[in-house]
Amino acid sequence: MPVTTTHPEYDKTANSWKKLRDVIEGEEAVKAAGVLYLPKPGGRDDDDFDRYVTRAQFFDATSKTADGMVGGIFRKPPIVDLPTEIEYLEDDADGKGTPLDQLSKDGAEEVVGLGRLGVLVDMPNVPEVKRLDEEREMGAQARLYLYAAESVINWSYARIGSVYKLARVVLREEVSTPGDDEFAEDESVVYRVLDLEAEQEGLPAGYRVRLFEDNGEEYVETGTYRPTLPNGARLDFIPFTFIGSSNNTAAVDKPPLLDIANVNIGHYRNSADYEDALFMVGQPTPVITGLDQQFIEKNKGQFVIGSRAAWLLPKDSTANLLESSRDLGALSAAMTSKEGQMIQLGAKLIDANRSGVEAAETIRLRQTGEASVLGSVSSNISRGFRMALEWASQWMGGSGEVAFTANTDFFPARLSSADLKELVASWQGGVITYGTLFDNLVAGEVIAPGTDVDEYESELETEAAKNPPPALGDDELDEEIDDEVVIVEEE
């Protein structure tokens, strides 16, 4: 089989990925697909169909839902702690200047949108060296590269020892190279094959990278390299991980937004019919009776509709306007129903002005359902990127733990004034400690996350010293004493 062979699961899901990609991109991509999403009505020629598509409106619900989900995950930045040897990844994770937090956000957009992402940790192809310092002198650094669902075209597992390991991954890459014109670039496709090579004579088993390029007739192997660890040993695994919406395995997960996208397409079709019907019946049509053939031939195309135009008609002729009294309620109701379905499926951003007041339990249940999907995506992003960073650290000879944890606090939960008063009163009454009060203030987003309690106390003391409470004058002091006397007498 050629290197371009795709996995059966890839073939089964490719159309859904195409649909999601277009729907998330928006109206222009959906309309450019023509009959793929909007069937051509019978009896329409190409020009009529073009006008039919132009009048249709695309309700950008799926994209807004995706933005809201990613925004929830990155409402707070991920927690990152890296060994010194790979700290450079925080500012430039992919060698193109993309910071690590931005790269993880780009990855989350793919997982939310298509339910799948691939992350590869790679080293530059350098001449075979045996010492880490030699590689560093050549500027070799481990980098993280993201691969969209459509770019991971094939994969397989094999039993190695007592466990199954990822044994082969085929990646499709679009490469730009300088063209004949200094301002132009040539686009080409390269296939990168990652596999575990069996032991050969004089060569131990290990990880191998091969590149395949088009020679005009077929894709042929044009390069091979075998990355090694700092001690010169070959990797016994492929430094590539899948990140899915449900699991971080090679199995293709159902995209979280697929149901919303399907309803979104249905809404688009209803809109096309609705706008077409409005165009047909919404404009009154003049009807003239009692004209002879000679008058018709002489005045054909001469009648202009408007208050400044006069029609001079023969005796006994009549003129009327033909117009429809239908309000197209069925089509309008169908669109409204689909908007409600999209809201129920998770597109809460569509209906920004929610009518009525939701009960607290209703809000809790709705947010729990949304958070379950977000929680899965967030934890999978954390595990996938943490694993990739551990590989990068291993490759760079790093020492120390790797930490990468994406946010799981998706919804603002600020303390109400009543809750805040109760907390402070509990602390003043000795019911809770200051540490518990501080933790609740951080959780309630009154105090910024990550604030150190000792530093916060020090800041409070500094501010109190700079801005002491105003001193009371004699008259004010007398009034305060009088108030206290009154209180005591009443008691």
Q: Give 259-284 pLDDT, tens digit per residue.
A: 889 989 998 998 888 888 877 765 66
| pLDDT band with cut points at 50, 70 and 90 for residue 68 | confident
| pLDDT band with cut points at 50, 70 and 90 for residue 421 | confident
d(C-alpha 444, C-alpha 420), whole Å: 9
Q: What is the pTM of this model?
A: 0.75
d(C-alpha 102, C-alpha 80), whole Å: 13
Lowest mean pLDDT among 189-198, 204-213, 271-280, 472-481: 472-481
Burial class (CB in 10 A: 0-12, 13-18, 19+), 14: middle
Burial class (CB in 10 A: 0-12, 13-18, 19+), 261: buried
- What is the average per-residue pLDDT within 86-94? 95
Query: What letter does residue 401 receive in the DSSP assignment?
Result: -
d(C-alpha 65, C-alpha 398), whole Å: 39
How far, rounded to the nearest angstrom, does the alpha carbon of residue 329 sit from its chain's CA centroid? 35
- Among the residues of 119-181, which ranges form H helices? 132-137
32 pLDDT exceeds 80? Answer: yes
Residue 417 structure tokens: 């004034």
- Residue 192's φ and ψ, nearest 5 degrees, are -105, 120
Task: Show the beta-strand stretches assigned E in 29-93.
Answer: 79-81
Model pLDDT, residue 366: 46
CA distances from 317 to 121, 290, 305 (A): 84, 4, 17
Provide Rg for the chain, Cα atoms.
34
Query: From the DSSP assignment, how many helices (H) and strands (E) are in the chain?
Result: 14, 12
d(C-alpha 367, C-alpha 379), whole Å: 17
* Helices 100-114 + 360-395 axis angle, to 10: 120
